[in-house]
Amino acid sequence: MNVLFLAHTEEDGSLGKAACEALTAAKGLSDGMAGALTVGLYGAEVQQAADQIAACGASKFLGVAGADFASARYGSDASACEALAKAAGAEVIVMPATSRASRVAAGVAQRLGAAVDTRLTGLDVAGGTIVATRWFYRQRMLGKIERDAKPWLVTVDSGCFAACDAPGSASVELLSVTPATRTTVTGIIAPAADAQTIRPDAKLLLVAGAGWGKTQPDGQKHLDDASSLILGLLAATQCSLGSSKSLVDQSGEGAALPFLTHMHQVGQTGSTPRHAKGLATCCHGEEPHVVGWRFIGERRAVNLDANCGWAQGKADVLYVADAFAVTKKLAELLK
């Protein structure tokens, strides 16, 4: 069986962590099926990325390079992926579930007449059959997928496989591809890294609960203080920010923290982030919210209620304290 690992390069020409993890998944399939592994890369320049994984055991390295493929753009990315897949003659195509790759995965599958499954968390070989796993219903059901259709294109979620680290010197066969697009990329305007509050690669997740927007012991709400404390802690630790549904809803109505959106929501109706550590503040730790913490390694919480949900075995450590005071002290210590 021919397995193609298909990924884009980063702005600096390297291969990102999510792509290296997907390569581990692809290599596991080719080894398990006793097949050949082909690497397909696209971007402004692909040699550096190929050298980064040269010793991964691939039988061939294919590439599509040039200024037309430097930036994420559906037309050019789809054309590059289609050309690489056809040149490899792959039966299974493994891509990382990055935003850039996910944007074109379904379209590329349609061009190839392939089946497609996205956001996989596992790829195994059992009895000569490939078995894919992924979560359904907000990570509350784990499903297993087997397909007879070929080609089969899949994207693999980050954090599910170890990143491949196999540097060396690779010989890349470059393909000539003319993207069928009328769009010209004139530049990308993006906020500074420090302005980002959602950071998937951060080691720490800070979750703000509804208590930040409630009346404090002096009978007043301190939304400005809450905003400055939370943003100050984010700046000091470079952690990622999450929120409970109630606080997000308050913020959407202009009654709480102005920088929160539903993208920050963690829990049953929000996201399920993966971080080494997590700190919940002003949140009771009820099940609809805590279900989003299932992939957090070490859990700690700050709450004035010693009998809150976090105290019922849902946190490793519970600090019974005022989150305003704790956050202020943390920010001071981290300066």
Asked, as a colleague might, if the bond just before 151 is cis with ω within 30 of 0, I would say yes
Give the domain 193-334 fold.
Rossmann fold (3.40.50)
Q: Where are the domains of the chain?
A: 2-174, 193-334
Q: How far apart are CA 114 and CA 91, in angstroms?
A: 9
Q: How far apart are CA 138 and CA 142, in angstroms?
A: 10
Q: What is the mean pLDDT of each run of 10 residues along the chain (335 residues)?
A: 97 96 97 96 98 97 96 94 97 97 97 96 95 85 94 95 97 94 79 80 93 90 92 92 90 73 90 93 91 92 94 94 94 87
Predicted confidence at residue 206, as pLDDT, reads 96
Do the bridges between strand 129-136 and strand 141-145 make them parallel or antiparallel, or are there none, so unpaired? antiparallel
Cβ-based burial of 270 (10 A; exposed 0-12, middle 13-18, buried ≥19): buried
Predicted confidence at residue 134, as pLDDT, reads 94
Distances (CA, A) of 235 to 35, 263, 270: 48, 19, 24
Predicted confidence at residue 174, as pLDDT, reads 98
Domain made up of 2-174: CATH architecture: 3-Layer(aba) Sandwich (3.40)
- Report which residue type is found at 72: A
DSSP-derived secondary structure letter, 271: B
pTM for the model stands at 0.75
Strands (E), 51-97: 60-65, 92-96
Q: Does 2-174 match 193-334 in CATH topology?
A: yes
Beta-bridge mates of residue 36: 2
Half-sphere exposure of 143 (CA within 13 A, CB side): 12
